[in-house]
Amino acid sequence: MQTVSIAEAKARLSELLNRVEAGEEIVIARRGQAVARLAPEKNRSNACPYLPWPNFAPPCRNLQYQG
C-alpha cells in the first residue's frame, strides 16, 4: 500500500486508478495524515447499475457500464 500526497494524487490520478484496478490500495494524505483510501471495488461486474438485483440484464443491454 503506497501513500501519496493530495497534490501527487491530483497530478497522477489516472495512473493511480490503473493501479487500483490492478488490485493495489493507495492512501491519500494531507500533511502526512491519511485522509482517503483508493481501493478496488469488491463486487465489480458488468451487471446493470440501475437495478437492485444484479442478474437482471435485459433492459440494460444497450447501456454501457462504466463502473
Average pLDDT, the chain: 79
- Tens digit of pLDDT for each residue in 37-52? 999 887 765 545 555 5
Query: Domain 1-41 is classified in which CATH homologous superfamily?
Result: YefM-like domain (3.40.1620.10)
pTM of the model: 0.62
For range 23-46, the mean pLDDT: 88
**Percent of the chain at pLDDT exceeding 70:** 63
Q: What is the DSSP letter of 65?
A: P
| Structure-model confidence comparison of residues 3 and 53, the more confident one | 3
pLDDT value for 15: 95
What's phi and psi for 30, nearest 5 deg?
A: -115, 120
